[in-house]
Amino acid sequence: MLEYLKKSLLTGIGLALKSKNEIEDLAKEFAEKSKMSQDEAKDFLTECRQKYEDAKTGFDKRIEGTIEKILLKLDLPSKSDIKALNKRIDALTKKLSDKA
């Protein structure tokens, strides 16, 4: 039963949009209430922190992907498009300066 609750909490962490401190507090409270040993509680807290970081990284990547799709649909230039245009402008400006 404890393992089931532990896995449920870790799954919830991946879905939760809470701050890292809130998740750590929740994990500490869970560890105290479930009467885990100190080593178990430490391992559990470490696992919670890792799951939080993994979820945050995954969320960030999904947001970036969504933004890229929106920009494509709006037909707006990307940062790399603008950089490429700036390089072309710089090259043309240099050619014009050399001819003058």
Q: Is the pLDDT of residue 6 over 70?
A: no
- Tokens 């998740």 belong to 23
The listed range with the strongest mean pLDDT (54-58, 62-66, 72-76, 93-97) is 93-97
The structural domains of the chain, with segments of one domain joined by +, span 2-99
Helices (H), the chain: 2-15, 20-33, 38-74, 79-99
- pTM, two decimals, is 0.47
Per-position b or e across 67-97, b if 16+ CB within 10 A of its CB:
eeeeeeeeeeeeeeeeeeeeeeeeeeeeeee
Q: pLDDT grade, residue 1 (50/70/90)?
A: very low
Q: Is the pLDDT of residue 35 over 80?
A: no
Residues 51 and 13: beta-carbon distance below 8 Å: yes
Q: What's the full length of the chain, in residues? A: 100
